Structure 1
Amino acid sequence: MITARGKTSLLRILCGLARPESGVVSWQGQPLAKVRESFHRQLLWLGHKPGVNAALTADENLRFFFPASRLQQRESALAAVGLAGYEDLPLSQLSAGQQRRVALTRLWLTDAPLWILDEPFTALDATAMETLTVAWSSTPGRGDAPSSPPTSRCGRWAVPLRTLRLGGEAGGGQ
């Protein structure tokens, strides 16, 4: 487990947003530098900060990230994270936890097979974390929710975990 030092830096390197001091990050056997565009189409990166525009509404933020999405999809995704009825409010009027839930709504709208999430439950209370994990676990096609590591604040993970072995290949779920 990686603790307080270097998690975000490592995740940024894995996303191709920063370069490693040494070594190579590969995707499907190819150096990331050669397949960056293809890799980024298959990636959903959610950083420590929510990455939303506070001047826009929840719906406008989601339309920015998913321009082909339909209103019904966006409304359903917002309802899944407990934000039904908040579609037309500017994010500047929402709490930090509600803004984080808008950011997490991307998980319901993406087709990306790879997610890299940096502290996804930041600014969320225990009730919001449980609501999100239950909603995610009950979403068809999203997989089981195995137990989380004992250091996790969220009780259960929403998707099967993968172990990353540096210098090796990804391992199976925990």
Structure 2
Amino acid sequence: MQNLGDFQNIKLDATRPVLEAITLSCERDQRRLFTGLSFQLQTGDMLRIRGPNGSGKSSLLRLLCGMTQPVSGHVDLFGQALVRQRGTLASKLLWIGHAAGVKALLTAEENLAWLGALHMHGANASIEQALFAVGLRGFEDTRCHALSAGQQRRIALARLYLPDLPTLWLLDEPFTALDKAGTKQLEAHLARHCDRGGTVVLTTHHELSQQAYAYKDLDLGQYAA
């Protein structure tokens, strides 16, 4: 079994699943949301998780990124149990939650520097380009309390345009508060990321008009307990 220091070699092994869920069961507030859920993702895969409200879409994403633990079953990341990698997960996956997660008193630039520091060092030179990519050129020094909900969401999503990111992206309702142009741009960016060898898992009710070549769809309602 490879140790955690061998991550670079694990990442380059195209035959090893990037992410594997094995007979997962999940509870929230003493209510079983889903049970017996299994799937496997390789490099290049895009998985959309859909289902009715309350079916556990966000809860599943939190299981996949190690924020919570399943009632039964387990998650493997790059061939190793996720629970054994808690200290190094920030270098192996990027998670963006349903809320924008920006700090109101910081500027757009300061927020992106803070968020980007979760994954890499020395990314400040690329922050301006990332904000430009999401349509926020000219807002670098604007404090976030003065921005709209859609603009704050774009700051969170600007992380996806920074260099040297983990190749596995877990995104909870990434299209929330985006306008039509922003949604179209994000769809294209996610598809390109997968087609270049990345992996994306996202929850959304939105029907994607642009998909990665290796696209999968998971209806979580089929696993309701």
Measured against the shorter chain, the TM-score band is 0.7 to 0.9
Q: Scaled by the length of structure 1, what TM-score is found?
A: 0.78
- CA distance in structure 2 between the aligned counterparts of 1:107 and 1:137, rounded to whole angstroms: 9
Match of 1:31 among 58, 64, 81: 81
Tell me, what secondary structure is at the counterpart of 2:111?
helix
Q: Scaled by the length of structure 2, what TM-score is found?
A: 0.61
Tell me, what secondary structure is at the counterpart of 1:23?
strand
Match of 2:157 among 104, 107, 116: 104
The letter of the residue matching 1:76 is: Q
- The structure with the greater share of residues assigned to strand is 2
- Cα offset for 1:143? 5.2
The letter of the residue matching 1:57 is: T
Structure 2 spans left out of the alignment, 5+ residues: 1-48, 197-204, 219-225
Match of 1:2 among 40, 43, 50: 50
Structure 1 spans left out of the alignment, 5+ residues: 146-150, 166-174
- Contact 1:129-1:154 at 8 Å conserved across structures: no
Q: 1:117 to 1:161 in 2, by over 3 A?
A: farther
- Contact 1:56-1:91 at 8 Å conserved across structures: yes
- Which residue does 2:112 correspond to in 1? 62
- Which residue does 2:10 correspond to in 1? none
The letter of the residue matching 1:10 is: L
Match of 1:53 among 85, 100, 103: 103
Tell me, what secondary structure is at the counterpart of 2:72?
coil
Could you say which structure has the larger radius of gyration?
2
Tell me, what secondary structure is at the counterpart of 2:174?
coil
- Which residue does 1:87 correspond to in 2? 140
